[in-house]
């Protein structure tokens, strides 16, 4: 196993010495959006020449000379930055979605696109042609792993079968009357834009020039750190879980949470694509709802045709545990309100098998019954066992001692437990690479799928 990348101390010193960086720690994404909005308002309102590369090229067709009429923050249904542009009698809006704190979300951008289109139709419901063309800019450190051009059919999922004043379905005329484009800008390009502004001498105040120069240094160092420790630019040969030393340094700079969010969502995306491309063809379950987002988790769900089980895969971040989380959950409905779940969870340096019943009460009788179910599933080596098939895990992983209980939580050996309803056992994975962990997940997914009927029978028998 190769060692992980070493932290560039020059980048750390740049951040630690910068007053502006310390100001940004209150809320990173808001800070960066507020800073950009200030630049646009104060120095770019009359002439877009220095920031032309920020905007979609289509805006400047026919040699149009746009001016900024208004810059708003968190308006238009909480868009990060809304910019109103004017050129003669023409007027348009450009939206900036800032993703320095999280990975770009296809679902979020599709929702925003649909919201803007609906608003546009409402404003122009009596017009046969909509002149106001909307544009979006995605500002992000990492490149999205999806196409930024959304089909009318994709966006229609978020339109709630919206109809215009003539009763026409929204997707029937989106492509001709409601143009919407997203352009991705990375922070390297943002640095180039800010350097162009400095070179143009429109900022005369030495104090404000110093602030912009400081900000350019901040985003350069952040970009370097992300590239060193975040996938896909980070090398995949080293351990997926960062060393304690690097964690401590990144935590002191307040970016360890961002690194975890990127990496666990990247891991989630890989697992989803692997299962979409391979497993689903052989186990005959159909995709539904391509994706949804809830509770800080982006997930992919499949269910079978009988609706008697389904799978949910997604990543999230635990503010309490200060770590990224990946869940692969198999749900077995018991009735319309309650379901048992079992599956795989990556939580920090732990690879867990878990069993869960979310609607449980906390009384002792209920806990005893759930404990009996968990012990029975483990005793039959269906789940919570880690011994079912030696070939599924390297010997090094199997022989790592289990530590099922943690101080301050219910003592329900041989399981770790949360809230009396989440039982788990785990192995340490701090020395394994991204590719190895993906393979562990796929292997255990096969076991979970193969044993689903037997697990359901145990649940129903107790």
pLDDT tens digits for 258-274?
889 889 988 988 888 88
Domain borders along the chain are: 9-191, 257-461
Nearest CA among 279, 270, 299, 301 for reference residue 288: 301
**What average pLDDT does the segment 184-194 reach?**
92
Whether residue 357 contacts residue 370, with contact meaning beta carbons closer than 8 Å, is answered with yes
User: Which pLDDT score, from 0 to 100, does residue 300 have?
Assistant: 60
Average pLDDT along the chain: 75
Which range among 263-267, 304-308, 362-366, 445-449 shows the weakest confidence by mean pLDDT? 304-308
Name, of 42-51, 227-236, 378-387, 432-441, the range with top average pLDDT: 432-441
CB 171 within 8 A of CB 153: yes
| Model pLDDT for residues 281-312, shown as the tens digit of each residue | 434 333 334 343 434 445 565 555 555 667 88
pLDDT of 171 higher than 70: no
Q: Cα–Cα distance between 271 and 441 in angstroms, integer?
A: 8
- Tell me what the mean pLDDT of segment 82-87 comes to: 88
Average pLDDT over residues 395-410: 43
pLDDT at residue 195 in the model = 93
Quick one: pLDDT at residue 166? Answer: 52
Closest CA to 188 of 216, 146, 169, 225: 216
pLDDT at residue 49, rounded to an integer: 82
* More confident position, 55 or 396: 55
Q: Among the listed ranges 19-23, 95-99, 319-323, 446-450, which one has the minimum average pLDDT value?
A: 19-23
Evaluate if residue 427 carries a pLDDT over 60: yes
Model pTM score: 0.75
- Residue 397: predicted pLDDT: 44
Most confident stretch, 113-117, 149-153, 197-201: 197-201
Q: What pLDDT is attached to residue 413? A: 67
Quick one: pLDDT at residue 216? Answer: 93
Indicate the pLDDT class of residue 153, thresholds 50, 70 and 90.
low
pLDDT at 223: 87
pLDDT at 393 exceeding the cut of 90:
no
Provide mean pLDDT across the span 207-228: 89
Dihedral angle, C-alpha 250, 253, 254, 260, nearest 10 °: -20
192 pLDDT tier (thresholds 50, 70, 90):
very high
The answer to whether residue 44 scores a pLDDT higher than 80 is yes
Q: Residue 323 contacts by C-beta under 8 Å, 6 or more apart in sequence?
A: 260, 317, 347, 348
């Amino acid at each position: 196993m190769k060692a992980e990348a070493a932290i560039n101390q020059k980048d750390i010193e740049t951040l630690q010495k910068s007053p502006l960086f310390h100001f940004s720690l209150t809320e990173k994404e808001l800070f960066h959006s507020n800073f950009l909005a200030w630049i646009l308002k104060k120095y770019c309102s009359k002439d877009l020449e220095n920031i032309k590369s920020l905007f979609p090229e289509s805006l400047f067709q026919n040699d149009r000379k746009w001016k900024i009429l208004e810059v708003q923050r968190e308006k238009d249904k909480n868009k990060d930055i809304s910019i109103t542009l004017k050129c003669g009698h023409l007027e348009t809006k450009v939206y900036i979605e800032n993703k320095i704190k999280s990975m770009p979300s296809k679902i979020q951008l599709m929702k925003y696109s649909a919201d803007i289109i609906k608003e546009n139709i409402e404003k122009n419901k009596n017009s046969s042609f909509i002149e106001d063309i909307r544009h979006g800019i995605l500002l992000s450190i990492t490149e999205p792993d999806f196409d930024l051009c959304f089909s009318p059919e994709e966006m229609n999922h978020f339109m709630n079968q919206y109809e215009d004043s003539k009763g026409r379905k929204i997707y029937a005329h989106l492509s001709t009357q409601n143009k919407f484009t997203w352009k991705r800008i990375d922070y390297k390009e943002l640095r180039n834009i800010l350097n162009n502004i400095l070179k143009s001498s429109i900022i005369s105040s030495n104090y404000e020039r110093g602030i912009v120069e400081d900000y350019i240094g901040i985003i350069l160092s952040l970009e370097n750190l992300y590239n060193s420790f975040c996938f896909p630019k980070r090398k995949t040969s080293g351990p997926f879980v960062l060393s304690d030393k690097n964690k401590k340094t990144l935590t002191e700079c307040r970016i360890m949470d961002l690194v975890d969010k990127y990496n666990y969502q990247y891991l989630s995306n890989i697992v989803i694509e692997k299962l979409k491309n391979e497993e689903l063809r052989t186990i005959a379950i159909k995709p539904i709802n391509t994706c949804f987002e809830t509770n800080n988790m982006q997930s992919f769900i499949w269910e079978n045709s009988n609706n008697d089980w389904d799978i949910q895969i997604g990543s999230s971040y635990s503010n309490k545990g200060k770590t990224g989380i990946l869940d692969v959950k198999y749900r077995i409905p018991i009735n319309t309100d309650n379901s048992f779940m079992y599956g795989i969870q990556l939580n920090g340096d732990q690879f867990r098998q878990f069993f869960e019943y979310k609607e449980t009460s906390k009384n002792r009788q209920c806990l005893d019954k759930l404990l009996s179910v968990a012990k029975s599933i483990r005793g039959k080596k269906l789940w919570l066992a880690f011994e079912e098939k030696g070939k599924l895990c390297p010997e090094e992983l199997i022989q790592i001692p289990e530590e099922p209980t943690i101080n301050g939580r219910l003592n329900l050996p041989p399981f770790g437990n949360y809230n009396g309803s989440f039982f788990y056992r785990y192995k340490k994975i701090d020395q394994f690479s991204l590719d190895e962990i993906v393979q562990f997940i796929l292997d255990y997914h096969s076991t979970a799928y193969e044993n689903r009927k037997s697990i359901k029978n145990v649940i129903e028998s107790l």
